[in-house]
Structure 1
């Protein structure tokens, strides 16, 4: 029964994307089939084979070791501060972003990451028939945040008409930055977060290329990774990466304060009219139907829907913090589905971040992004539903 519901959820996602498409005749159905097949194979391999489990455990072990290294740096700076049981979220989780951002900056300066991204993106383009820039950006978005991913292809922006711009923005919005994956792993199961990364990459490409299909002449499909870093030495790369990571940590902390406080304010206002009702409960009922299709058990779907809705109206960190204490009472299937759903930047605030980044690169194209902002969010929500549903099929 769960498999049938999951298949129905996938059909619903593709059906909605088809109905919203602005060019149904040019949808690349062969590419869609290949990417969905790759998703199913990857998820089956990771969850159902010993080799896949070993790969996930190995990657998790690498992240945990990196977290240990990052914690040493944090303890040197703030180790003398006495805190209560459980520590301080800013110290224990957010400051780790600094170390991970430093590593990414160094790997980018050394042209290790750009080479991997270019050739993996090229392979995806060849297999699926999608344009190279869109495929490159989809892989790039696994490692870098929304702004950084778009900045990395700024030299190709003159090639991007409206539909192509939509797809690269959708990939940026439906992914997460590798610099904050370490923070996510501190809150939710690592295996589901790590599987969400490739699932979201393919889901974003599938949904976006249905919503806004593209046909690109060969001469306009060029990817350049020569000038991805402005750093002049590995030490400058370390310094700039650390500063960028510190900025991200402070931004996340600031947004958490604002969103959590605002959520409490909204709940207080709601309860003035409807005693005992919260925004989370309302969102739970709104998302319950799709949660059932995704495979979440009936007795958990309201609570799970509340977390998914919270993620969209606030951000993934707020939702993860609310979901963390609930996992003790949830089934493994629900934990997997919700974790994959939460592992993306699909929320209202991301529209502004992406529009602002594009404006800094090309003011004319920023107006295009503002015009399809809500369509971007709907596409990102469909992406999260698709990824979480595929993951749930194998739990």
Structure 2
């Protein structure tokens, strides 16, 4: 029964995307079908085979080792600070972003990551029939944040019409940056965070390809990785990566202060009218129907829905911090579904981040992004639902 509900959820998600489509006649059904099958195979392989579980455990162990290295650097700076029970979130989680950003910067300078991303994107493009730029951007969005992913294809922006701009923006919003995956792993079960990365890449492409189908001439579809890094040496790459990571950590901290405080304010106002009611609870009831279809148990769907709704109206960190306190009281299936849903940038604040990035690349196209901002958020949220439902089918 759960699997039938999951399949129904996938059909509803694709149906909603179809209703939102800009050009239903140009939808690449073959490519979408291939990516759906790829998601099913990936999830099945990772969760039900020994090899898949070994791969997840190996990657998780690798991240944990990197977290250990990063913690040494953090400890050197703040080792004398007396932490409260359970640690200090800024020191124990956010500052690790600096180390991960440094590694990504060095791998980019050495052309290791760009080359891997280019060829993975090329394979996806060849198999699915999607344009190379969009495929490259989708893979790139697994490793880099929304702004960095879009900046990497800035030389192709003059070729991007409205639909192509929607697809690259959706990929940026539907994924997460590898620089903050280490922080997520400190709050959520590693296996679900790691499987969410490839699933979200495919989900973003699937939903965006339905909503904004494209057909691109070969002469307008070229990926160039020559200028992905302006660093002159590996030491400059390390320094710039560290600075970028520091900025991300501070931005996340600032957003958490703003959103958590604002959430408390909204809850206080709501309780003036309805005592004991919170925005999270209201969101839980709103999301409950789709949550049940995704595979969440009826007895847990209000709690799970509240976390999922919190992520949409604030950001994934606020939701993860809330969800972390619930992990001991929920079933493994609910934990897996919600964890995958949370592992993306699909929230209101991302609209402004993407529009601001595009503004710096091409001011005219920034207006287009702002114009389809809500459609972008809805599409990215549907992508998160699709990924989470896929995981629910195998738990």
Q: TM-score band, normalised by the shorter chain?
A: over 0.9
Residue 271 of structure 1 is matched in structure 2 by: 271
1:337 Cα deviation from its structure 2 partner? 0.2
Q: How many residues align?
A: 395
SS at match of 1:107: helix
Q: Distance in 1 between matches of 2:204 and 2:49?
A: 26
Q: CA deviation at 1:230?
A: 0.5
Deviations 1:339-366 (A, max 9, x none): 0000000000000000000000000111
Distance in 2 (alpha carbons) for counterparts of 1:127 and 1:35: 9
C-alpha distance in 2 between matches for 1:49 and 1:289: 31
Match for residue 144 of structure 2? 144
Tell me if 1:77 matches 2:77.
yes
2:348 maps to which residue? Answer: 348
User: 1:265 & 1:338 partners in 2: Cα distance?
Assistant: 25
Which residue of the partner structure matches residue 261 of structure 1? 261
- Deviations 1:221-271 (CA, angstroms, capped at 9, x unpaired): 111000000000000000000000000000000000000000000000000
Equivalence for 1:3: 3
Distance of 1:85 and 1:295 partners within structure 2: 35
Q: For residue 175 of structure 1, what is the aligned residue in structure 2?
A: 175
Distance 1:148 1:380 in 2: 18
The correspondence of residues 1-395 of structure 1 with structure 2, limited to 5 A, is: 1-395=1-395
CA distance in 1, matches of 2:85, 2:339: 25
TM-score, scaled relative to structure 2: 1.00
SS of structure 2 residue aligned to 1:130: coil
Output the CA distance in 2 between the equivalents of 1:265 and 1:233.
48
For 2:371 and 2:213, how far apart are their aligned partners in 1? 17
How much does 1:82 deviate?
1.0
How far apart in 2 are the matches of 1:94 and 1:283? 27
Distance 1:38 1:380 in 2: 19
Over aligned residue pairs, what C-alpha RMSD do you find?
0.4
User: Could you tell me how far apart the structure 1 residues matched to 2:378 and 2:42 are?
Assistant: 25
Gaps of 5+ in 1: none
What secondary structure does 1:319 align onto?
helix
Q: Deviations over 1:139-173 (max 9, x none)?
A: 00000000000000001111111100000000000
Corresponding residue SS for 1:226? coil
Partner Cα distance (2:272, 2:364) in 1: 45
5+ residue gaps, structure 2: none
Distance in 2 between the 1:204 and 1:240 partners?
29
Residue 288 of structure 1, CA deviation: 0.1
| Separation (CA, whole Å) in 2 of partners of 1:83 and 1:199 | 37
Q: Distance in 1 between matches of 2:283 and 2:366?
A: 31
Tell me, in whole angstroms, the C-alpha distance in 2 between the residues paired with 1:251 and 1:294. Answer: 32
Shift of 1:391: 0.7
- Aligned to 2:326, the other structure's residue is in SS state helix
Distance apart, 1:84 and its partner CA: 1.6
SS at the partner of 2:226? coil
- SS of the equivalent of 1:287 reads helix
- Give, in whole Å, the separation in 2 of the partners of 1:391 and 1:7: 12
Offset, 1:319: 0.2
Q: Cα distance, 1:218 vs. partner?
A: 1.0
TM-score by length of 1: 1.00
Aligned counterparts of 2:67 and 2:358: Cα–Cα separation in 1:
32
- Name the SS for the 2:172 alignment partner: helix
Q: Secondary structure at the match of 1:214?
A: coil
Shift of 1:87: 1.2
**1:296: how far off?**
0.2
Q: CA deviation at 1:83?
A: 1.5
2-side partners of 1:309 and 1:87: how far apart? 27
